[in-house]
A and B are shown apart, each in its own frame.
Chain A
Amino acid sequence: MQRVFMVKNKEKKFIGQWVLIDRKSNIIFHSSDIVEVVKEGRKYPLGKVDIEKQFEEGSCFF
């Protein structure tokens, strides 16, 4: 778990991580634990940040 500011969104260093993204698409927080990111997200007004996970191309799920 680590706080990161102003990381450009296309960087692949957060693959597999849940990330908190601001309106300018900067990653402002990341963790492998979704709950940590959800809790961090509650510190911001609703709708000001999004939560997303970055996947490597070729990922499949079901």
Chain B
Amino acid sequence: MINVAKKSLLIDFTFRYGKISDSVPLIPIRFIGSDGNSTQIINAIFDSGAHELTIPKDLADHLQYDIVEKKHKINTANGLCDAFSSKAHFCIGRGGREVEYVDEEICVMENCPAILMGIKPVFEDYLVIIDAEDKKIKLNVKKK
């Protein structure tokens, strides 16, 4: 059976840069594992160069996500590497203002240096404005 990705009602967000990584735009995300337990909020990096939300394989294994090896190696800044596909359950936002994504297709990589918020799903759902001077990120729901 193929699970179709679902998401809750989209809402606008404004995020500030990270607490310690104050030179890169970050987005708060928490993952819900296959056992239903949530991680704490993890500050992921906005990365318009990545096709999908990308997470380290160690984290995917910890969350007990099913993974399937991709047919082809993928290109990264560090060269070609093996990668996997998976489906994730996660929420973006914080403080009760969250958008939930269920069964969203993601990329899983060995030795992934960070959690990377790629084009899918956030850049497809939102107009993303990165204000590097004020160290703010605005996510405005795209009008359809």
The reply on A1 being an interface residue by CB < 8 A is: no
The count of chain B contact residues (Cβ–Cβ below 8 Å) is 33
Task: Determine if A38 and B24 form an interchain contact, defined as CB atoms under 8 angstroms apart.
Answer: no
* Chain B residues near A14 (CB-CB < 8 A): 20
Contact B42 A52 (CB under 8 A): yes
CB-nearest residue of chain B to A16? B113
Nearest residue (CB) in B for A57 is B23
The CA of A53 and the CA of B112, in the complex, are separated in Å by: 12
Contacts of B20 on A, CB cut-off 8 Å?
9-10, 14, 19, 21, 25, 27, 52, 54
Number of A-B contacts (CB under 8 A): 88
- 56-87 of chain B: CB within 8 A of chain A: 56, 58-59, 61-62, 76-77
Return the CB mask of B76-118 against A: 1 if under 8 Å, else 0. Answer: 1100000000000000001100000000000000000110101
Contact between A35 and B58, CB atoms less than 8 A apart: yes
* A/B interface sample: 13 pairs, CB < 8 A: A38-B40, A41-B39, A42-B39, A47-B94, A51-B39, A52-B18, A52-B19, A53-B21, A53-B113, A54-B20, A55-B21, A61-B116, A62-B77
Interface on B for A, CB 8 Å cutoff?
18-21, 23-24, 26, 28, 30, 37-43, 45, 47, 49-50, 56, 58-59, 61-62, 76-77, 94-95, 113-114, 116, 118
